[in-house]
Amino acid sequence: MTRTDVPRSGTLPLVNWLSNGGSGWVLGLIPLSLTLWFASMLPPIIAGEVLRVSYSWIPSLDVALAFRVDGLSLVFALLVVGIGTMIVIYAGGYMAGDSQIGRFYLYLFLFMGAMLGLVLADDIMTLFVFWELTSISSYLLIGYKHAYNSSRSAALQALLVTGSGGLALLAGLILVAIAGGSTSISTLIEQGDLVRESALYMPALVLVCIGAFTKSAQFPFQFWLPGAMAAPTPVSAYLHSATMVKAGVFLLARFTPILGETPAWAITLSTFGAITMVLGAYLSVSQVDLKRILAFTTVSSLGTLVMLIGIGGEYAITAMMVFLVVHSLYKGCLFMVAGSIDHETGTRDVTLLGGLRTLMPITFGATVLAALSMSGLPPLLGFVGKELIYEATLDAHELSPILLSAASVVGKVLMIIAAGIVVVVPFTRAQRAKPEAPRVGHEPPLSMWLGPVILGALSLLFGAFPTQLIQPITNSGVAAILNEAVEVEVKLIPSGLTPYFMLSVLTIALGFVGYWFARPTLQRVGNATEGLLEQGPVNSFNAVVNGMQALARWQTRVLQSGYIRNYLRIIVSSVTLLVSYALLTRADFSRVQWLPIGATVLEWVIALAILSGAGLVVTAQKRLNALAGLGLVGYGVTLIFLFFGAPDLVMTQFSIETLSVLLFILVLYRLPVFSSVSSEAERIRDAIVAGAAGLMVTLMVLVTVSGQLERLLTPYFAQNSYPEGRGRNVVNVILVDFRGLDTMGEISVIGVAAIGIVVLLRLRLGGEKNDPETVSTGKEQL
């Protein structure tokens, strides 16, 4: 018996249990305790209190790490941690045996924290930081199965869409902060009029809407959500149905008192919401993958929520709050069920499944409850939600009650069909003689059916007693959104044969008829239009992404050619443009002497010499000739100095010119013959650039010498050289006295340069001598 056997035999059962799903039970305690903690806040919140805490964060920018618990944020927080508890337990079972489950939990809890921070934030900068964190953690979760290319590209797609939305949101939030004069959400809520009356209102509205629409998968950004189904199912159940995608809805609800209650707001939100609602439901019925069906119904539900916020008013907002809870409960349940089916049978394709009712009875029970809630049948909470939605749309007199109600009916009918596909096909369809699914299903472990059962049961419980259980919470939520106390009744039994109830009955009837008779037709039509409606946005997204890459390639090719002559051309053109702009707009040309009147013969001669030198440089076929031209220009300039009374400069310039010509010749001696001459077109282009630059410099010099400067520098030096510098040569005194430090500095620079040149020479000489191998291998010579 070795020493290591002792502890191992003692801990093995625990380790086994933890790695086989037990970890979910343990970690589930964290969100569970949070749920209880948030639940304990219910009484004061329902009583109308608002709890706030604030920590100073960036005081100089007046940004605080501030949180606020009111009816709206509490409902969201309870959903986040409550459903989170089920998901963590479920994930323990679903991911059992996954070697990287630790990483999975890390991302999941990162997301949970981010989402909690987002819904509780009371400062728009705090809100934004958590908003971005949800995007990033969602990216990590979607790409969790990083070995698959599809996961990675879906993750990137989701990140790019929500990330660009985040940028728009940031801009929108900053505009709101500027217009409202504060970053605190509580303050902004009280000063909503300030924002609405500001000139920045429209841009802020558009930008905030883009942020919310990308996050909540509204048309035309709905395409990333079905793609995100590449994530493990617990993630889809949590992020892409119950919580993260609701962040956009939350944002719109949160900003209702700040940006809402205007025609622009109502029209934008209700239009996009209604389109998304119908489009999502329509696309869902032609899918065969369980998760994709559910993903598209999620898109549809999100559209419903956005539409309701757009309609506004206490009834629509109450409907929104109720439907939010309804949707989170049934969608979380159905996604977990889809995961269980996938986990147990090995497929999510409904055409391959059947007869699971007897094999997975508990799961079946939960599914039926959830699907009935989704279909809006009494006595489930879905029915209550649907009644309220119809009440809201039929009363949306400022918009278009008929259009919105019709859209809602169509959306709901299609949802019933989708619910039917999710329940009826896999569970109750007769088991084929030879099952096509890879494995025969059986009931999953407790950890995987507990969550669905609880959520399904809650749908039933809340549906049976909405007035007692749901109404207080939604009323406080609505009060938080509308910033005024409300009392809207949420009830199961309709008060007589109201139009809403009639519409509800009609919907259910149409739904059942549609499921039994119209489903094949719908699926055919759906498949036919799939390319346009489903692939269209994906393709345009890809086109944008590829276009950006192409732009990057083009930019690199054009700007980064590697040839210094191209770099110089770009620099010279830019400077010419920049300085010409400054010259033409700012300089005074009125005193410029355009014609060389009064120039002496000597000056003409020198000027011509310089010009011909320049001409020689440009036209020379041999380097030596060009050099001679350059020398001519240099000596011409020296002569100008000579005739205008600057003998010191003449001496300097003369030595430098001579020296540089000599050095040039020494270098040229070792260079190959000038053989490749640029083409005609290139030369014309270069001539234009050079000509423009020359013109710009000429203009600059003309302007410089034309102005009658008020103060001249020369007298100062002429007067002070002798008394202060003790020298009669003004130039010398300037160099060694007035600007002595500069001169010393320049000498040091030259010293450093000399040292450097010595070093470089030593490297080359030493390198050749010491290590011939390095030279010859050329491995690093890219």
Partner 1 sequence: METILFPAVDLGVIAPMFTIFTWASVLLLVDVFLIPSDSKRFTGYLALAGVLATGIVTLMIQVGRAVGPGTSIPSFSGMVVLDSFGLTITWIFLIIAAITIAISINYLPQHNIELGEFYPLILFATGGMILLGQSTNLIMIFLGIELLSITLYILTAFFYPRFTSEEAGMKYLLLGAFAAGFFVYGIALIYGGAGTVDLLEIGAFIAAQPAVVPGVLPSPEVSLVMIGGGLVLVAFGFKVALVPFHMWTPDVYEGSPTPVAAFMSVGTKGAAFSALLRVLLIGLPGLQVFWVPVLGALAAVTMIVGNIGALQQTNVKRMLAYSSIGHAGYILLGIMAANERGTEGFLFYILAYALANLGAFAVLIALEKRGEMAWSLDDFAGLWRRQPMLALAMAIFMISLAGVHPPQAFLASSWSLRRRGKVGRGRWC
Interacting positions 163-202 with partner 1 (CB under 8 A):
163, 167
Residues within window 119-148 making contact with partner 1, judged by CB under 8 A: 146-147
When the beta carbons of 558 and 662 are compared against partner 1, the nearer one is 558
When the beta carbons of 103 and 432 are compared against partner 1, the nearer one is 103
Enumerate residues 6+ apart whose C-beta is below 8 A from 299: 217, 222, 225, 226, 276, 279, 280, 283, 284
Closest CA to 223 of 539, 538, 543, 546: 538
Report the distance separating Cα 675 and Cα 704, nearest Å. Answer: 41
When the beta carbons of 232 and 466 are compared against partner 1, the nearer one is 232
In angstroms, what is the minimal distance from the CB of 139 to partner 1?
Answer: 9
In angstroms, what is the minimal distance from the CB of 535 to partner 1?
Answer: 20
102 near partner 1, rule: CB under 8 A:
no
Report the distance separating Cα 492 and Cα 467, nearest Å. Answer: 8
Residues within window 699-728 making contact with partner 1, judged by CB under 8 A: 700, 703-704, 706-711, 713, 726
The residue within the footprint of partner 1, chosen from 112, 115, 125, 159 (CB under 8 A), is: 159
When the beta carbons of 464 and 699 are compared against partner 1, the nearer one is 699
In angstroms, what is the minimal distance from the CB of 341 to partner 1?
Answer: 29
149 near partner 1, rule: CB under 8 A:
yes
Residues within window 634-663 making contact with partner 1, judged by CB under 8 A: none
Query: Where do we find the tokens 């400054």?
Result: 582
Report the distance separating Cα 483 and Cα 256, nearest Å. Answer: 9
In angstroms, what is the minimal distance from the CB of 354 to partner 1?
Answer: 36
The residue within the footprint of partner 1, chosen from 505, 532, 667, 763 (CB under 8 A), is: 763
Site string for partner 1, 428-467 (x = CB under 8 A): ----------------------------------------
Query: Where do we find the tokens 């003790």?
Result: 726
In angstroms, what is the minimal distance from the CB of 749 to partner 1?
Answer: 5
Residues within window 213-242 making contact with partner 1, judged by CB under 8 A: none
In angstroms, what is the minimal distance from the CB of 59 to partner 1?
Answer: 12
Report the distance separating Cα 369 and Cα 330, nearest Å. Answer: 8
The residue within the footprint of partner 1, chosen from 505, 552, 584, 659 (CB under 8 A), is: 552
Report the distance separating Cα 593 and Cα 698, nearest Å. Answer: 12
In angstroms, what is the minimal distance from the CB of 544 to partner 1?
Answer: 13
752 near partner 1, rule: CB under 8 A:
yes
Do the Cβ atoms of 241 and 558 come closer than 8 Å? no
In angstroms, what is the minimal distance from the CB of 258 to partner 1?
Answer: 26
Stretch that binds partner 1, among 39-47, 226-234, 327-335, 748-756 (CB under 8 A): 748-756
| Cα–Cα distance list, 168 to 162, 313, 751 (Å) | 10, 27, 54
In angstroms, what is the minimal distance from the CB of 136 to partner 1?
Answer: 9
When the beta carbons of 142 and 421 are compared against partner 1, the nearer one is 142
698 near partner 1, rule: CB under 8 A:
no
When the beta carbons of 498 and 573 are compared against partner 1, the nearer one is 573
Closest CA to 290 of 433, 451, 427, 162: 427
Q: What is the CA radius of gyration of the chain?
A: 38
Q: Is the peptide bond before 445 cis (omega within 30 degrees of 0)?
A: no
When the beta carbons of 732 and 774 are compared against partner 1, the nearer one is 774
The residue within the footprint of partner 1, chosen from 20, 153, 198, 498 (CB under 8 A), is: 153
When the beta carbons of 19 and 706 are compared against partner 1, the nearer one is 706
Do the Cβ atoms of 540 and 223 come closer than 8 Å? no
Stretch that binds partner 1, among 214-222, 302-310, 418-426, 742-750 (CB under 8 A): 742-750
In angstroms, what is the minimal distance from the CB of 578 to partner 1?
Answer: 6
Enumerate residues 6+ apart whose C-beta is below 8 A from 95: 101, 104, 232, 234
Which 3 state secondary structure label does DSSP give 69?
strand
C-alpha 5, offset from chain centre: 52
The residue within the footprint of partner 1, chosen from 5, 197, 680, 780 (CB under 8 A), is: 780
Report the distance separating Cα 312 and Cα 320, nearest Å. Answer: 9
Closest CA to 180 of 158, 205, 165, 198: 198
Q: Structure tokens of 68? A: 């606020």
Crossing angle of helices 246-259 and 313-345, rounded to 10°: 170
In angstroms, what is the minimal distance from the CB of 553 to partner 1?
Answer: 5
In angstroms, what is the minimal distance from the CB of 609 to partner 1?
Answer: 23
Stretch that binds partner 1, among 118-126, 280-288, 626-634, 754-762 (CB under 8 A): 754-762
| Adjacent-strand bridge partners of 487 | none
When the beta carbons of 432 and 739 are compared against partner 1, the nearer one is 739
Residues within window 44-83 making contact with partner 1, judged by CB under 8 A: 60
1 near partner 1, rule: CB under 8 A:
no
When the beta carbons of 528 and 757 are compared against partner 1, the nearer one is 757
Residues within window 586-605 making contact with partner 1, judged by CB under 8 A: 586-588
Half-sphere exposure for 620 (CA within 13 Å, toward CB): 17
When the beta carbons of 139 and 330 are compared against partner 1, the nearer one is 139
When the beta carbons of 167 and 628 are compared against partner 1, the nearer one is 167
When the beta carbons of 31 and 232 are compared against partner 1, the nearer one is 232
Residues within window 486-515 making contact with partner 1, judged by CB under 8 A: none
C-alpha 240, offset from chain centre: 17
When the beta carbons of 432 and 764 are compared against partner 1, the nearer one is 764
The separation between the first and the last C-alpha atoms of the chain, rounded to the nearest angstrom, is 60
757 near partner 1, rule: CB under 8 A:
yes
When the beta carbons of 719 and 774 are compared against partner 1, the nearer one is 774
The residue within the footprint of partner 1, chosen from 46, 49, 129, 152 (CB under 8 A), is: 152
| Cα–Cα distance list, 61 to 170, 181, 278 (Å) | 15, 12, 43
Stretch that binds partner 1, among 187-195, 232-240, 266-274, 550-558 (CB under 8 A): 550-558
The per-residue DSSP string of 404-432 comes to: HHHHHHHHHHHHHHHHHHHHIIIIISPPP
Do the Cβ atoms of 404 and 270 come closer than 8 Å? yes
Enumerate residues 6+ apart whose C-beta is below 8 A from 219: 213, 272, 275, 276, 279, 303
Task: Say how many residues touch partner 1, by CB under 8 A.
Answer: 74
Q: Structure tokens of 277? A: 């609602």
Q: Structure tokens of 383? A: 């029915």
The residue within the footprint of partner 1, chosen from 551, 656, 659, 662 (CB under 8 A), is: 551
When the beta carbons of 518 and 703 are compared against partner 1, the nearer one is 703
Query: Where do we find the tokens 């391959």?
Result: 352
Which 3 state secondary structure label does DSSP give 67?
strand
Report the distance separating Cα 688 and Cα 166, nearest Å. Answer: 45
Residues across the chain:
782
When the beta carbons of 397 and 726 are compared against partner 1, the nearer one is 726
Half-sphere exposure for 668 (CA within 13 Å, toward CB): 15
Residues within window 554-583 making contact with partner 1, judged by CB under 8 A: 555-556, 559-560, 562, 564, 566-568, 570-571, 574-575, 578-579, 582-583
